[in-house]
Structure 1
Amino acid sequence: MRYFIIACLAAFCCSCQKDGLIDYSGGDGIAFYVGEYEIDSVSYSFAFSPAPIDKDTIYLKMRVVGGATDYPRTIAVKAGPGTTARPDVDFILPQHTLPAGALTVDYPVIVMNTPEMADNEFRLVAEVTESKDFSPGAVGQEIGGSYNLSKILVKITNKLVEPTYWPDVESAFGPFSAAKFRFMIQVTGFTDFSYEALGTSGIYNLPVRLRNALQEYEAANGPLIDENGNHVTF
């Protein structure tokens, strides 16, 4: 009886699976992934750069669904349905290599600053595709709250647009405006004010630095008014 109960419990445990968790089987796959509080899109604007640039690189996080190997493996990403950006004009999706022994890698998306981006936002749906070493990996929730994704939306422009992460930092910096963001870049030299980039100490300390800088600016120039007619504050 004791062995029968143990066997039944083992069978029950094997049959139970939390809804939404990745069910992995088969050969090795690879997928994009985001943290529990991250979203499945990225916004990039050349207008955020402190100096004019012709191109830049955005890195998308990827991880293996399977095991590590003692040799490098090739990753392939394509532009999926819904893409409005032009390949080899607005973006390049290079073939990339996962190093030997690695389970995660940052995939480089090369974006180009084209004249049309001054007035338009282009969309790139980056989608995992088959390579000689990987198939698209299973998607869903991983243990720890992160998520595997088959595709990520990348928005590319040369306009000052609200970053996708701004709602997460609005309590620290206040409502977004292009004038406020330009001032933040000028004062700090930073272009990424996300929680991931600044960390807890940056989120708490940077608003103090910006308030002090704004006081100095306004003492010399008067109130800083944004494009909506609002007084910029921190």
Structure 2
Amino acid sequence: MKTIIKSHKINCLLCLATLVIGITSCSKELVYKNMPGIYIDKEKLTARDSTAYSFAEKSATLMLDTIYIPVKISGELSGTDRIVPLEANAAKTNATAGTHYQILPTVVKANELTARAAILVKRTPDQKTKQLRIYLEIVPNAEFPLAIANTKTNSTFNGEPSATYKPGYLIKLTDQILKPDTWDGSGSWFKYYFGAYSAVKFKFIIEVTGRTVWGDRARYGADAPTSAQLQVYYTKVITALYEYEKINGPMIDETGNQVTFPKI
């Protein structure tokens, strides 16, 4: 009987020791430091993964412009300013730093979550014949050591995020007429008033209206025209095309198709 009691006591002591060790171990595991990271905030971008910038849609005298890329931190706020570690991926970029673009120094200010990284783009003669690429990425540094692979949209479907965003962002830079990213987007006034896109048609629209900045879907944002303005633009391009065809015959676009506008 004495032996059994002694064995029972030993077992109890072993269990207690195991419990103490387990609690100590768990306590160590629960000590967690949230490493800070930063990512391109694609929720604030109309074109999530890339944007096309064309100097051909701007004034002929415009030689420099700035594109802003929203960024957002993860982790805790900081009481000091932190530099945004945004760089161009050399393997995916054919534009030349200093000649075609410059990533301007940007900081996330103390006790703030967001900032806008500024990319200075420059007009050069070679953009008349080719499209340049600037592929931007966040490169972790001492202030933002956490590498963030993907981010998810705030909107959900069946309880899950409806989209996942890749970390990089592409700027397509040229001095040629480019199709606006949102021409065919849902509710686009580009498509409603002007129909199918072609470079010849869009250049004609710009020349007739004098407008080079259209905003998202030619409908949303401070840069977009009003519906009344678009009605005026529509009348102008219809009239101008009629006058053109009286003298030159049908206007043919780069695909060999006749330029037309929808009947509204």
- TM-score computed with the length of structure 2 as normaliser: 0.67
Query: Which amino acid is the alignment partner of residue 140 of structure 1?
Result: T
- Correspondence for 1:101 among 103, 111, 123: 111
Counterpart in 1 of 2:92?
Answer: 82
CA contact (8 A) 1:177 1:226 kept: no
CA separation in 2, counterparts of 1:184 and 1:43?
18
Deviation at 1:219, TM superposition (A): 6.2
Distance 1:108 1:37, change over 3 A: closer
Residue 141 of structure 1, aligned match among 130, 152, 156: 152
Give the CA deviation at 1:155.
0.8
Q: Which runs of 5+ in 2 are unaligned?
A: 1-32, 156-161
| Cα pair 1:44 1:157 within 8 Å, conserved | yes
Equivalent residue runs for 1:35-74 within 5 Å: 35=43, 38-74=47-83
- Quote the RMSD (CA, aligned, Å): 3.1
Shift of 1:147: 5.1
Match of 2:30 in 1: none
> Do the aligned partners of 1:77 and 1:129 also contact (CA within 8 Å) in 2?
yes
Give the match for residue 227 of structure 1. 253
**Structure 1 residues 89 and 95 mapped into 2: Cα distance closer, same or farther (>3 Å)?**
same
The answer as to 2:37 corresponding to 1:29 is: yes
Match of 2:236 among 191, 213, 216: 213
1:65/1:138 contact within 8 Å kept: no
Structure 1 CA distance for aligned equivalents of residues 204 and 71 of structure 2: 33
8 A contact 1:82–1:124 mirrored in 2: yes
2: CA distance, partners of 1:193 / 1:184: 15
Q: Is the 8 A contact 1:98 1:104 kept in 2?
A: yes
Structure 1 residue 190, shift from structure 2 partner: 4.1
1:96 alignment partner AA: T
Q: What is the alpha-carbon distance in structure 2 between the residues aligned to residue 189 and residue 100 of structure 1?
A: 40
Q: C-alpha separation between the residues in 2 aligned to 1:37 and 1:91?
A: 22
Match of 2:128 in 1: 118
Whether the 8 Å contact between 1:50 and 1:189 is mirrored in structure 2 is no
- 1:170-209 deviation per Cα after TM superposition (whole angstroms, max 9, x unaligned): 5324212234323444526342332387259958555423
1:171 counterpart residue number: 191
Query: Which range moved further: 221-230 or 121-130?
Result: 221-230
1:9: which partner in 2? none
Query: Residues 177-188 of structure 1: matches in 2 within 5 Å?
Result: 177-186=198-207, 187=209
Note closer, same or farther for the CA distance 1:232–1:103 as it changes in structure 2 (3 Å cut): farther
Q: Is the CA contact (8 Å cut-off) linking 2:78 and 2:111 kept in structure 1? A: yes
Identity %: 20
**Larger-Rg structure:** 2
Cα distance in 1 for residues equivalent to 2:150 and 2:241: 50
Q: State how far apart, in whole Å, the 1-side matches of 2:219 and 2:141 are.
A: 32
Identify unmatched segments of 5+ residues in structure 1.
Answer: 1-24
The correspondence for 2:171, drawn from 143, 154, 161, is 154
CA distance in 2, matches of 1:107, 1:226: 41
Query: Displacement of 1:156 after TM fit?
Result: 0.7
Question: What SS is found at the alignment partner of 2:92?
Answer: coil
CA separation of 1:191/1:182 partners in 2, compared to 1, >3 Å: closer, same or farther?
Answer: farther
Give the structure with the higher percent strand. Answer: 1
Aligned residue in 2 for 1:20: none
